[in-house]
């Protein structure tokens, strides 16, 4: 069943597209019918640059177990990073062309 609950968040990130590495500034997460993943429903994550063409997006379609595993792995990895490295203001994102 589609929930139609959609969450969009701002990001500071880069993503690799068919055109190469691009700055990404937004992620949308929702649960719906996938386009390519062979399941009735999946968790979708669309990462994009809102000022660029929609063709530059990076998209994931995950089953629920994979989505939970990915979220948990992200949280475990961040929990293990020394505090001085988190939110490193020296690190700037640049768009690779």
Give pLDDT tens digits along the chain (97 positions): 566 789 999 999 999 998 899 999 999 999 998 888 888 889 999 999 999 988 889 999 999 999 999 999 999 999 999 988 887 654 544 444 3
Q: Phi then psi for 19, rounded to 5 degrees?
A: -90, 0
Q: Give a yes or no: residue 66 inside a domain.
A: yes
In this prediction the pTM is 0.80
Q: Residue 33: inside a domain, yes or no?
A: yes
How far is residue 13's CA from residue 27's CA, in Å, rounded to a whole number?
10
CA dihedral 49, 16, 60, 73 (to 10 degrees): -110
Classify residue 60: in a domain, yes or no.
Answer: yes
Domain contains 89: no
Tokens matching residue 16: 């690799």
| Burial of 28 (C-beta count, 10 Å sphere; 0-12/13-18/19+) | middle
In a domain, 26, yes or no: yes
């Amino acid at each position: 069943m589609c929930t139609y609950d959609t969450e969009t968040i701002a990001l500071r990130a880069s993503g690799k597209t068919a055109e190469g590495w691009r700055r990404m500034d937004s992620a949308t997460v929702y649960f719906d019918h996938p386009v390519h993943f062979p399941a009735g429903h999946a968790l979708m994550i669309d990462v994009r640059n809102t000022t660029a063409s929609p063709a530059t997006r990076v998209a994931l379609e995950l089953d629920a177990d994979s989505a939970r595993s990915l979220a948990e792995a992200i949280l475990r990895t961040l929990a293990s990073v020394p505090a001085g490295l988190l939110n490193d203001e020296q690190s700037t994102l640049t768009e690779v062309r």
